Amino acid sequence: MNTATHSAHRPAPRPFGEHLRHWRQHRRLSQLDLAQEAEISTRHLSFVETGRSVPSREMVLRLAERLDVPLRERNALLVAAGYAPMYRERPLDDPALSAARQAVELILKSHEPYPALAVDRHWNLLAGNAMLPHLMAGADLELLQGQINVLRLSLHPKGLAPRIVNLGQWRNHLFERLRQQIHATGDSVLQALLEELRAYPVPEGAGDTHLDGELLGVAMPFKFQTQYGVLNFISTTTVFGTPIDVTLQELALETFFPADAMTGDVLRKLMSPA
């Protein structure tokens, strides 16, 4: 296939107005609501959505701010309006992010002897401390090869799911977090991941155990069967936000704390074997 034919079949980029309308409707705002938020006339907003008016760069950023659009999608809005992207996206191992990477590694290391990990926006594992392999032990090797998705690993029947005592509660917790992410980002990859995870078979009785201590968006109990006994954790998530870098805004740290003395003792012994 020659270049001309290939280019002819390439889908045309979406106009800025379509992007804007998508985010306005995703946030369930009327044109009047958004116009008032952005301090512009409804007529002008309508013209921008229909392509009759071209927004300034400042207007694009103002609308994106009022709609709470993530940085990655703000770049897409800017490009659709004919402007250069504003927010950089660099891999975590980029030299420019060395200070941030060192901070992440320090947090993970400092959390030992308790497990901790860092994930990207699609829940792919970026880094973990020395205790993480103890949690992943026993999972099917297929789930541990290449890019590891921690949600798939956690809920897959060949992953950790058979050993999670409060699996039903844990599944619901992860599904709710995914739904919140999808609402915030409109990410189709996350939507597909949610549908995949929901299709996994659930063992009979998986919803029978419901542990106390769940604080929505703050902490989640996690009870896990291991060769060392049943370990009890409290899981928490930390999200880094930055106004200038896409990668750092989308980075999340998942940390596990012992919920009882026995779990703490086991983890300390694993970290410092006799």
Domains of the chain, residue spans = 13-80, 95-271
**Which of 109, 203, 208 shows the shortest CA–CA distance to 163?**
203
Q: What are phi and psi of 82, to 5 degrees?
A: 95, 15
DSSP codes joined into one string, the chain: --HHHHHHTSPPPPPHHHHHHHHHHHTT--HHHHHHHHTS-HHHHHHHHHTSSPPPHHHHHHHHHHTT--HHHHHHHHHHTT----SB---TTSGGGHHHHHHHHHHHHHTTTS-EEEE-TT-BEEEE-TTHHHHHTTS-HHHHSSSPBHHHHHHSTTTTGGGBTTHHHHHHHHHHHHHHHHHHH--HHHHHHHHHHHTS---TTTTS---S--BTTTBEEEEEEETTEEEEEEEEEEE---SSBHHHHH-EEEEEEESSHHHHHHHHHHHS--
Q: What would the pLDDT profile of 171-227 be if each residue is shown by its tens digit? A: 999 999 999 889 888 889 999 999 999 999 987 777 677 788 777 666 899 999 998
Architecture in CATH of 13-80: Orthogonal Bundle (1.10)
- How many residues does this entry show for the chain? 274
143 has pLDDT over 90: yes
Amino acid present at 46: S
Mean pLDDT of the chain: 88
CATH number for 95-271 (one of 3.50.50.60, 3.30.450.180, 3.40.50.300, 3.90.180.10): it is 3.30.450.180
pLDDT of residue 264: 95
If one compares 94 and 194, the residue with the highest pLDDT of the two is: 194
Q: What are phi and psi of 262, to 5 degrees?
A: -60, -45
C-alpha 255/C-alpha 128 separation (Å) is: 10
Range with the lowest mean pLDDT among 10-14, 55-59, 175-179, 257-261? Answer: 10-14
**Which of 235, 231, 241, 210 shows the shortest CA–CA distance to 220?**
235
**Which of 222, 224, 227 shows the shortest CA–CA distance to 269?**
227
Share of the chain above pLDDT 90, in %: 65
pLDDT of residue 64: 94
C-alpha 141/C-alpha 139 separation (Å) is: 6
